[in-house]
Amino acid sequence: MGEQRERTFIMVKPDGVQRGLVGTIIERFEKKGFKLVALKFVWPSEELLQKHYSDLSSRPFFPGLVKYMSSGPVVPMVWEGLNVVKTARQMLGATNPADSQPGTIRGDLCIQVGRNILHGSDSVESAKKEIDLWFTEKEVVGWTPAAENWVYE
């Protein structure tokens, strides 16, 4: 059961919100069988995004990335389930949508790396950091879906 409680941080980026893709993106994770445990709608500050992307601060695209990410509201979420970090990354597709396989979220719904509509944690460790950065402990809700025994054997 403990393995099913792995968590990842997924965020619809400003272009995903502006293009009306919030529902579509949530639906992909819901239909897969993962459990939503936190969600909000916020217009993030540049300061928060600089922290979120601190690993990329030396990259030439960093200023543009922070500007893009702070250009409008985003939808940060926490999803829970067995191997959710790795599986969610596979569901997202490659960072550059030009390389994302058809059938992945990015592969189906976007075209350029600078407008790739959503974020997903790349490891269990970064998921923990990102969840703590975007949510308080109280905002992450533990619950048991009625269908849990039909998703897991």
The binding site for ATP consists of: 13, 61, 89, 95, 106, 116
Asked about 119 being catalytic, the answer comes back as: yes
- Assess contact for 40 and 139: CB atoms under 8 A: yes
For the chain, the 3-state helix, strand and coil shares in percent, each to the nearest 5, are: 50, 15, 35
Binding track, positions 40-79, relative to ligand IDP; x by CB under 6 A: ----------------x----x---x--------------
Is 64 or 141 the residue whose CB approaches ligand IDP more closely?
64
Whole-number Cα distances in Å, 8 to 5, 11, 51, 128? 10, 10, 17, 8
Piece of 33-41, 44-52, 76-84, 116-124 that binds ligand IDP (CB under 6 A): 116-124
Which one of the listed residues 7, 28, 52, 119 is annotated catalytic?
Answer: 119
Interface residue with ligand IDP, options 22, 116, 127, 130 (CB under 6 A): 116
Q: Which residues are documented as binding site?
A: 13, 61, 89, 95, 106, 116
Nearest approach, Cβ of residue 138 and ligand IDP (Å): 27
Phi–psi pair at 18, nearest 5 degrees: -60, -30
Phi–psi pair at 91, nearest 5 degrees: -65, -35
Binding site for ligand IDP (CB under 6 A): 56, 61, 65, 95, 113-114, 116, 119, 122
The residues annotated with a catalytic role in the active site are 119
